[in-house]
Chains A and B, each alone.
Chain A
Amino acid sequence: MKSKLNNFKNFLITRFIFLNGIISIVVLTVILIFLVYNSIKFFSGYPIFDFLTGTRWSPTSTEKFGLLPLLAGSTLITVGAIIIALPLGVGAAIYIGELAPRAVRETLKPVIEILATIPSVVIGFIGIQLIVPLIKRAFGLPIGLTALAGSIMLAFMSLPTIISISEDAINAVPIKYRHASLALGATKWETTYKVVVPAAKSGIVASIMLGLGRIVGETMTVLMVTGNSPRIVFSWLQPVRTITATIAAEMGETVRGGLHFSSLFAIGLVLFIITFLINFIADRFIGRIRKM
């Protein structure tokens, strides 16, 4: 009798644990359903074609919901941030992974980890206080709240991801490779950039993709330092508005359930799809390191 009760108890526990186990699938699915549901509501009141090709985002005055200015803003800032973060991050990763003495490496790693924990609103605040005035003065602009300010701050926010994963990949390169190259008469630097870096390539690419995911999804920092002007511009010295900042800035002011309200879910869905693809690609590359 007792063992029967025990069996039943075990059955319940197993079921309960299974339900918790699939929580990530459930949450991700429900988020997606919510975004899609509200987007469909939006597209029943606003043509999807106009949304995807519209060049103006002015939801309150003219009820224009064009995605392109926001997409352009996000792209401009992301490209700028990657241009800054790529050399800095990979360079620092090579230094930490290949050159730094053990003691230096062990002090540098926590410092970079600290950067990852600084809240984005604090980074945005530092941007307003220090970087924005600097940009204004350096380029003689009327205001310093520009795409450039966003790119600089986001570049630094993505660095911990880029550095730590690149460095892992560099460390994973077998020491044999280095010995073989040095024995052939290559200098240490030649070994690093002709043997180690190519061997660690997938990890480095994965780190950049993950950094990219962080940059595209970052909200508070861009909301604070980029000037929030939803126009299509092609210069980093102009104010822009990203997808993320638009959601954060406008959600508070909209009428619940209205067209503007559901439009924010539609651009949220666009953001979700973009970051999903980026992370998917990154995961592919990480899978390749494991096989090494």
Chain B
Amino acid sequence: MKKRYLQQKIFYGLLLFCTLVVVAFVLGIIIFLIVKGVRAINLNFILGFPENGMREGGIFPAILGTLYLMIGTIIFALPIGIFAAIYINEYAGKSKITRIIRLSIINMSGVPSVVFGLFGLGFFVLFLRFGKSILAGSLTLALMILPVIITSTEEALKSVSDTYRQASLALGATKWQTIYKVVLPQALPGIITGSVIGIGRAAGETAPIIFTVAAFSQPGLPKSILDQAMALPYHLYVLATQVTNPPEDMLWGTALVLLFLVLFFSVIGSIIRVRQRLKKRELS
């Protein structure tokens, strides 16, 4: 009997150890980045241009480029994603095509990011002749985050009670009017959550932008959507692997800014989601 409880203790200890290793890794990364990166952060670093082969100065063009890409990505991904989810949840029903759509969404989210990069290069950059540009990069990233937007919008639409739809239809509204004026407003918080998480993911991706938009360095800032742009994740990659002896502060500072940007969006997304859940609990 005693032996069995001793066994239980040992295995519980091991399980706790596994959990602690994971937690230590996450906290370790974040603490290291903050402690080492914070030293580099100042106004000149955030708002300045890279100087002396990226060894001095700031990372402003990279931050701005990433912001451009986030905006471009969401402009393309959001409307298509919302309409796709509307089709799946409101129109398609349980047909064979819904099954195929679902399967392709799952598979799309499993396609490696570097394959999206290859496709973006082949299709947007070369075939459609957008060149290496913000346009091509945004479209590539938009395709990549589409599954996130579709899935979260679909969840949000599903959570809207059918009584609302029936009430609206009974008042003589058409199906589209019902969706547009009744269902979508109710589903909005869920849609926003998905978009915010999607943008955060797009901001951190490197492989899809290397061949579609990212510039190693650039004189001045991009002037149109057909220009290349620098981007934070690519800049970090370049600093960490291509520049000889970059100052430690620049490296950790860039990594910290990138992590902050990505986490900022995911935290906002989580907050909206949690608040929405609490509200629903109050209602029911």
Whole-angstrom CA separation of A265 from B33 in the bound complex: 36
Contact B22 A92 (CB under 8 A): yes
Decide: A24 and B150 in contact? CB cutoff 8 A. Answer: yes
User: Is the CB of A141 closer than 8 A to any CB of chain B?
Assistant: no
Given the complex of chains A and B, what is the CA–CA distance between A219 and B111 in angstroms? 12
Quick check: A122 and B259 within 8 Å, CB to CB? yes
Name B175's closest neighbour in chain A (CB-CB). Answer: A10
Across the interface, which residues of A come within 8 angstroms of B17, CB to CB? 91
Given that A21-B101, A125-B236, A283-B106 are contacting pairs, would A118 and B29 also be in contact in the complex, using a CB cutoff of 8 Å?
yes
Asked if B72 is at the interface of the complex by the 8 Å CB criterion, the answer is: no
**A133 and B19 alpha carbons, distance in the complex (Å):** 25
Across-interface contacts of B23 in A (CB, < 8 A)? 108, 111-112
A272 touches which of B19, B106, B115, B270 (Cβ 8 Å) = B115
- Determine the chain B residues whose CB is within 8 A of the CB of A34 once the complex forms: 118-119, 122-123
Q: Are B11 and A189 in contact (CB under 8 A)?
A: yes
Q: Which of A43-51, A64-72, A171-179, A244-252 touches B? A: A244-252
Partner of A24 from the list B5, B30, B147, B207 (CB cut-off 8 Å) is: B147
- A188 contacts the other chain (CB 8 A): yes
Shortest distance from the beta carbon of B22 to any chain A beta carbon, whole Å? 5
A190 within 8 A of partner (CB): yes
Q: Does B222 interact with chain A (Cβ within 8 Å)?
A: no
Asked if A224 CB lies within 8 Å of chain B CBs, one says yes
Q: Is the beta-carbon distance between A114 and B30 smaller than 8 angstroms?
A: yes
Which B residues touch A275, using CB under 8 A?
Answer: 110-112, 115
Cβ–Cβ < 8 Å partners of B211 in chain A? 251-252
Instruction: Provide the bound-state CA to CA distance between A118 and B210, in Å.
Output: 18
On chain A, the residues within 8 Å of B21 by CB distance are: 88, 92
A111 to B31, CA, bound (A): 13
**Residue of B8, B27, B107, B121 touching A187 (CB-CB under 8 A):** B8
Q: Distance in Å from the Cβ of B225 to the closest Cβ of chain A?
A: 21
The answer to whether B118 and A247 have CB atoms under 8 Å apart is yes
Closest Cβ of chain A to B49, distance in Å, is 21
In the bound complex, how far is the Cα of B108 from the Cα of A228, in angstroms?
A: 27
In the complex, whether A150 has a CB less than 8 A from a CB of chain B is no
Specify which chain B residues have a CB less than 8 angstroms from the CB of A190 in the assembled complex: 4, 8
Q: How distant is B104 from chain A, measured CB to nearest CB, in Å?
A: 4
Q: Helix, strand, loop or mixed for chain B's interface?
A: helix
Total A-B Cβ pairs within 8 A:
249
Chain A residues 186 to 209 lying within 8 A of chain B, measured CB to CB, are: 187-190, 193
Main secondary structure of the interface of A (DSSP, over half): helix
Given the interface contacts A34-B123, A251-B118, does A278 sit within 8 Å of B110 by beta carbon? yes
Specify which chain A residues have a CB less than 8 angstroms from the CB of B16 in the assembled complex: 95, 99
Given the contacts A10-B176, A27-B146, A283-B106, A156 and B87 also touching, CB distance less than 8 Å? no
**Cα–Cα distance between A10 and B6 once the two chains are bound (Å):** 69
Q: Which of B103, B146, B204, B266 contacts A121 (CB 8 A)?
A: B204
Q: Mark B71-102, 1 if CB is under 8 A from A, else 0.
A: 00000000110011011100110000100110
Q: In the complex, what residues of A have CB within 8 A of residue B117's CB?
A: 247-248, 251
Interface mask (B14-51 → A, CB under 8 Å = 1, otherwise 0):
11111101110111011011000000000000000000
Contact indicator A276/B14 (Cβ below 8 Å)? no
Query: Is there an interface contact between A121 and B237, defined as CB atoms closer than 8 Å?
Result: yes
Whole-angstrom distance between the alpha carbons of A89 and B237 in the complex?
Answer: 28
Chain B nearest CB, measured from A151 CB (Å): 14
From A9, A25, A115, A189, give the contact of B25 (CB < 8 A): A115
Q: A10–B5 Cα gap in the complex (Å)?
A: 68
Chain B interface: which of A12-20, A54-62, A75-83, A233-241? A12-20
Q: In the docked arrangement, what's the CA distance between A219 and B206, Å?
A: 9
Q: Given known contacts A99-B15, A279-B107, is B8 in contact with A189 (CB within 8 Å)? A: yes
Given known contacts A20-B84, A126-B32, A25 and B210 CB-to-CB distance under 8 angstroms: no
Q: Give 5 A-B contacts (CB < 8 Å), ordered by A residue.
A: A89-B22, A92-B21, A95-B16, A119-B204, A276-B110
Interface residues of A (CB under 8 A from B): 6, 9-10, 13-14, 16-18, 20-25, 27-28, 30-31, 34-35, 38, 87-89, 91-92, 94-96, 99-100, 108, 110-115, 117-126, 128-130, 156, 159, 163, 187-190, 193, 210, 213, 216-220, 223-224, 244, 247-248, 251-252, 256, 264-265, 268, 271-272, 275-276, 278-280, 283
